[in-house]
Structure 1
Amino acid sequence: MVTIYDLAKKTGFSSTTVSKALNNYADVSQKTRQAILDAAAEMGYLPNAHAQSLSTKKSWTIGVMFSEENEVGMKHPFFNAIIESFRKFAEKEGYDLILASRNLRSRDISYLEHFLYRGVDGIVVICSDPKDPQVQEMINSSIPIVVIDMTNQNCSVVYSDNLLGAELAIDYLHSLGHTKIAHIAGASSTYAGKVRIEGYRKAMNKRDLPVPDEYLVDGGLFSIEEGSEAMEKLLDLKDMPTAVFAAGDHMAIGAMEAARSRGIHIPEDISIIGYDDIEMSRYVTPKLTTVKQDTDVIGERAGQLLLKQMVQKKKIITEEVIPVQLMVRESCIPPKK
């Protein structure tokens, strides 16, 4: 079995330096740490987790919780991509992830109690339900925590610029000549749904564009089916919109299917723009124009904020707003004259 003394001999560093590098001590340079980690990987060094936790008072684990009303979790491409980005960062820093089971809700034990029992060093929460009491319990505890996709909390939060995203969508449609723009909204009980509705209204008002009540349709919890149902309502209107901004790509894809089933062509008859830039948006026909949320940056920045708290053993209250970007593809063109 390879030991730290073997690593010290191979790298030329002292066993103390090797130990510090493996345990992420701040007084070891990144260059030295990387050289030791590379040697450890090459030699197949496996630290004793129990011994490590005793000496460092750390479990080298991070708890992961999904808090969303539709309980889709990692099945949703957006959440999946964020967790994958977070996992890569955490793994690089030597941490493993523990995903909380939804069965906890029926076992009379809170997520916080579960994570404390497992001895995690920190928690990341993917949250679209700001009223979830379990999330609030964790936020109000002393354990290091980062919440993704929520704002105005007593902790570190990371989220996309949803207001700007909605404005980019409306700006682009307006630049093409559209004035009758409808919005398939995410549930207003979710943070993203609420803010994108606000962004849609704000952008439309800024350009003196009308927002009839029937142009704002509830698309529920961002699913393909709910997007399709919402689009059916818009297609039934006497004064049909010439463009639709959907608050999520799944809803936009559902809207495209609903239009197609009625013989309505996209983008010739109606333009559709989505939100998220999930992988599928590049492969549907026509390719979906959408607002990109940078999941790589969101996951990595959440990891950095959580690591900083775990190292400093100090709660940090901050908001990180991640920029969004319009991805122009094929689903939007100027309206018919």
Structure 2
Amino acid sequence: MDIRDIARLSGYSLGTVSRVLNDNPGVSDRARERVLQVVRDVGYEPNTNARHLKMRGRSSSYAIIVKGMQNMLFTDIIEKAEGLFAQADEEVRVHFVDEDADEAARAAHLDKVRHPKGFLFLGGTPRHFIEGLSEISVPCVLLTNTAADWGLDTLSSFTTDDASAAESVIDYLWEMGHCRIGVIGGNWVSEVSARRLEGVERAFRARGVTFDRERSYEPCRFSMDEGYQATMRLLARSGDLTAIFALGDVIALGALRAISDQGYRVPADISLVGFDGLDVSQYCVPRLSTVRQDTGLLARRGVEALMAAVEGRGTPAHEFVPFRLLRRESVLALRM
């Protein structure tokens, strides 16, 4: 009997069961009671080796450091990562930091007071890692950003090729007859959004056109409200756009409402494309065309690399995980 059996008998995912057994937040009372009832019924006992390590004063758990509080993509990755740790009979604790906070400094503090086996970072700022990674004494792996050019030979990273993915969106819109394209989300300072914007500009240059940042781009944070406000600002100064590319699905959801509130329809008047491939994107009306990041593969690569590093196996690696452009209902082909 192991945690996978508890998940099967309770009807909940491995990630949910792991959170219940580790007494982590983010679980409904109903789910917690159901899992604990199954645990009592079958007489399941958590890993005794973990308890032994705790008695010796050394933590037996891994730590996930999450950059930002409202990132739905990260929520999906967390769930999958927790399940993978649970399959390996490993405990994991999740720690959130603000979008503007220093995630490396937070990890260095946790390293000193909690002594985790290793850190899995969801999101990260280059400067924070370059300045603070040396203060962390355990292995670290970064997801959703690449550290390939940071000069850190102890940090692995796994992410989507953001520039190529964004370029594929513009290629798609152009193929559908759109050349007056607006972009919302992120900023030129954030490395992830900057790479996506570079992909946008690259796609325009390939057609002999310069992307007009001043007129056609509106920065914002990754939230529905920010996406709504950014779209309102963009439409106010660029009312002739036929398509909008949102650098995140949550931004696109806000944009969808803003477009409607301005009296336009998606896609009849303005086509809309997101980025991330969140589950919610297939349930909005119309279904959102988007870039799907492979969160399952991202989680697997990250967890496997981190556990291998803790066990002294393998060397740091940097890898792009494949993406898919999902062509759904939110883009209209213009008559050529």
Q: TM-score, with normalisation over the residues of structure 2? A: 0.77
1:127 — aligned with what? 123
Counterparts in 2 of 1:299 and 1:195: CA distance versus 1, 3 Å: same
Contact 1:128 1:190 in 2 (8 A): no
CA distance in 1, matches of 2:264, 2:124: 33
Query: Within 5 A, what are the aligned runs for 1:168-187?
Result: 168-187=168-187
1:113 — aligned with what? 109
Counterparts in 2 of 1:335 and 1:210: CA distance versus 1, 3 Å: farther
2:299 — aligned with what? 299
CA distance in 1, matches of 2:62, 2:216: 40
Contact 1:149 1:191 in 2 (8 A): no
CA distance in 1, matches of 2:227, 2:286: 17
Gaps in structure 2 of 5+ consecutive residues: 2-41
Contact 2:201 2:210 in 1 (8 A): no
Contact 2:156 2:305 in 1 (8 A): yes
CA distance in 2, matches of 1:295, 1:174: 27
Deviations 1:254-293 (A, max 9, x none): 1111110121111011111000011111111111000001
2:290 — aligned with what? 290
| Aligned residue identity for 1:81 | D
Counterparts in 2 of 1:85 and 1:139: CA distance versus 1, 3 Å: farther
Q: Report the CA distance between 1:181 and its aligned residue.
A: 1.5
Query: Within 5 A, what are the aligned runs for 1:154-165?
Result: 154=152, 155-165=155-165
CA distance in 1, matches of 2:62, 2:247: 31
Among 64, 76, 92, which residue is 1:97 paired with? Answer: 92
Matched, 1:83 2:82: no
Which of 1 and 2 has greater Rg? 1
Counterparts in 2 of 1:126 and 1:136: CA distance versus 1, 3 Å: farther
Query: Within 5 A, what are the aligned runs for 1:97-246?
Result: 97-100=92-95, 110-132=106-128, 136-138=131-133, 141-152=136-147, 153=150, 154=152, 155-237=155-237, 240-246=240-246
Contact 1:178 1:243 in 2 (8 A): yes
| Aligned residue identity for 2:323 | V
CA distance in 2, matches of 1:96, 1:301: 18
CA distance in 2, matches of 1:66, 1:327: 26
Counterparts in 2 of 1:94 and 1:268: CA distance versus 1, 3 Å: same
CA distance in 2, matches of 1:230, 1:46: 48
Contact 1:234 1:240 in 2 (8 A): no
CA distance in 2, matches of 1:100, 1:51: 21
Identity among equivalent positions (%) equals 25
1:258 — aligned with what? 258
1:267 — aligned with what? 267
Counterparts in 2 of 1:139 and 1:145: CA distance versus 1, 3 Å: farther
- Over the residues paired in the alignment, what is the CA RMSD in angstroms? 2.9
Q: How many residues are matched?
A: 288
Match of 1:97, SS?
Answer: strand
CA distance in 1, matches of 2:50, 2:290: 47
1:319 — aligned with what? 318
CA distance in 1, matches of 2:200, 2:323: 15
2:63 — aligned with what? 63
Match of 1:207, SS?
Answer: coil
Counterparts in 2 of 1:115 and 1:100: CA distance versus 1, 3 Å: farther
| Aligned residue identity for 2:193 | G
Counterparts in 2 of 1:232 and 1:50: CA distance versus 1, 3 Å: closer
Contact 1:185 1:196 in 2 (8 A): no
Counterparts in 2 of 1:251 and 1:306: CA distance versus 1, 3 Å: same
Q: Report the CA distance between 1:188 and its aligned residue.
A: 2.4
Q: Report the CA distance between 1:309 and its aligned residue.
A: 0.3
CA distance in 1, matches of 2:136, 2:246: 36
Counterparts in 2 of 1:205 and 1:125: CA distance versus 1, 3 Å: same
Gaps in structure 1 of 5+ consecutive residues: 3-41
1:20 — aligned with what? none
CA distance in 1, matches of 2:184, 2:96: 32
Q: Report the CA distance between 1:239 and its aligned residue.
A: 5.8
Counterparts in 2 of 1:261 and 1:139: CA distance versus 1, 3 Å: farther
